[in-house]
Structure 1
Amino acid sequence: MSTENTTRVELLRSDDFAQYLLHDARQIKQILRSLVENRALITTYLPSGNQSFLTAILTLIDDEERLVFDASPDEAVNRRVASIDELICATQLEGIKIQFPLSGIQEVTYQGRDAFVADRPERLLRLQRREFYRLVAPITHALNCTIPVPQKDEEPRTIEARVLDISGGGMAVVVPPDDADFVPGMEFDGCRVNLPDFGPVTVRMRVRNLFRLTNRNGVEVLRAGCEFVNLPNSANNLIQRYIFKVERDRSARERGL
């Protein structure tokens, strides 16, 4: 699998991750219940067009054999969802990456709001290995990345992009609307991310995938999934320390400390 985009869609079918696939109905239901209880945001990928939207599982019904999930604020997206055979959903719960397919999708109204109902997934991927963990950038400490964009016969033009998530392997950024000429395979050297409490880190990154993401408020943005190229150990250590601190602070807040 050559790109993060491919990994996202094909992960459930890969022998490399077979040992992390759950098929037991009781285990799957337990995880689905946890997603409901934690109001976990779920990125839902449509099968074509590199399109996705954010949703959440609202409840489990019919002896937990079906689930209800939130509709998109974009009616065009909802029409597509209602007409397709399968969606791929990805989320995180307590630092563990979770992915599962949804099928048997139907439009419904739940507690006065537009929603969808789908069959309980028969398989669910639960990745527990630390190296797969990506930190969703905290809202309270927004991360931004300055990216020098090469210009033909000119000096690079620097743009500022918001970081959506980050790990030791790469990060995802929101591409500014007037810079949608990003394409997979492009590399940017000298990108600079300022990590709160730790200072700046400079990286070289390569664009792996691009797709449009519709936020829950209906605003559509372009997301670029990037991998770090030849990341120095010093930069990797700084990123890992930052991730650890954010997670430690988050856990302390949840415990009321």
Structure 2
Amino acid sequence: MSQIAQLSEAEIEERFHITGTLPIAFLLVGYARTKDQFTVSFGGGEEMMLTTLLDAQPAGDRLIFDCSGSAEINRHLLASGRNVFAGRPAGIHVQFTSGRATEVVFEGGKAFAVPLPKHVVRLQRRDTFRIETPRGKPLQFFGRLTGGKLLNFPAHDISVAGIGMTALTLPDGLAPGDRLENCHFALPEDEHELFFSASIRHITPQVGRAGVQQWRIGLHFENMPAVEENRIQRYIAKVERERHELLAK
């Protein structure tokens, strides 16, 4: 799994960003032809809907996608100035952001159109978009070893595929490859915790800024339901939006 959170913006752009109107339109037209589904997060990351891309038109600088069956959701999306699309065509994570949607007619039916994105993040098959979690109030992971010992670590980063944690002491018996049952953590402002099984991918020793020995523990989600993945994606979009707003001030 890639440590994308530790890459610079230039490295991320070089490795994962697709830019240019024609390359982006070509890529999105391909997803439209294969009818790959995407989730659209909007309204400041508070709402989302499932959609299918219909066409990408470089001459008109627009991406056309299917509307929701809910009139209320459609109204909310039309009122949103920033929309984040995410999907996994052929198992590869694809994500891009666009501006305000307008209602259009496409092949005789109602649809939405947004400006073509400035870039598309297309990760390699084994990579997943990962963000560092806020340090002021980190996510708290809970799990149990096979023998029943309780684990509790603060999270350092998260993606829809797994979570990275920081430990000041390494519990006895913890090793890469171990499977943990009854794992759970809560996302900020969510009423319900996420429950899942997981496997330990790596345990990496490192020295912190103050010279303190610590360990990074990488955990892979084993059976995270799709609806819970959507909750994680929604959280990631919210954190990214808040960080961009801080940088813009």
- TM-score, reference length from structure 2: 0.51
CA contact (8 A) 1:35 1:57 kept: yes
CA distance in 2, matches of 1:55, 1:87: 12
Structure 1 counterpart of 2:77, one-letter code: V
Match of 2:13 in 1: 18
What letter corresponds to residue 116 of structure 1 in structure 2? F
Segments of 5+ residues of structure 1 without an aligned counterpart are 1-6, 8-12, 134-165, 171-199, 212-221, 241-257
Contact 1:50–1:210 (Cα < 8 Å) also in 2: no
Q: Name which of 39, 54, 57 aligns with 1:58.
A: 54
Amino acid at match of 2:186: V
1:94 partner letter? A
Report the alpha carbon displacement of residue 208 of structure 1 after superposing the two structures with TM: 3.1
What is the DSSP-based 3-state SS (H/G/I as helix, E as strand, rest coil) of the residue aligned with 1:56? strand
Counterpart check, 1:28 vs 2:7: no
TM-score by length of 1: 0.49
Q: Please say if residues 41 and 54 of structure 1, whose CA atoms lie closer than 8 Å, have aligned partners that are also in contact.
A: yes
1:101 maps to 2:111: no
Q: Do the aligned partners of 1:85 and 1:103 also contact (CA within 8 Å) in 2?
A: yes
Aligned-partner Cα distance in 2 for 1:77–1:34: 26
CA distance in 1, matches of 2:70, 2:192: 17
The reply to whether residue 202 of structure 1 matches residue 185 of structure 2 is: no
Query: CA separation in 2, counterparts of 1:31 and 1:83?
Result: 27
Report deviation, 1:49: 5.7
Aligned pair 1:115/2:97, yes or no? no
1:127 corresponds to 2:123: yes
- Residue aligned with 2:187, SS: strand
8 Å Cα contact 1:85-1:104 kept in structure 2: yes
Offset at residue 36 of structure 1 (A): 0.5
RMSD: 4.3
Structure 2: segments with no counterpart, 5+ residues: 130-159, 165-178, 202-218, 224-249
- Residue 74 of structure 1 deviates from its aligned partner by 1.5
SS, match of residue 132 in structure 1: coil
3-state SS, counterpart of residue 25 of structure 2: helix
Q: Say if 2:63 and 2:113, in contact at 8 Å, map to a contact too.
A: yes
Deviations 1:37-65 (CA, angstroms, capped at 9, x unpaired) = 11011100013262100011112236363
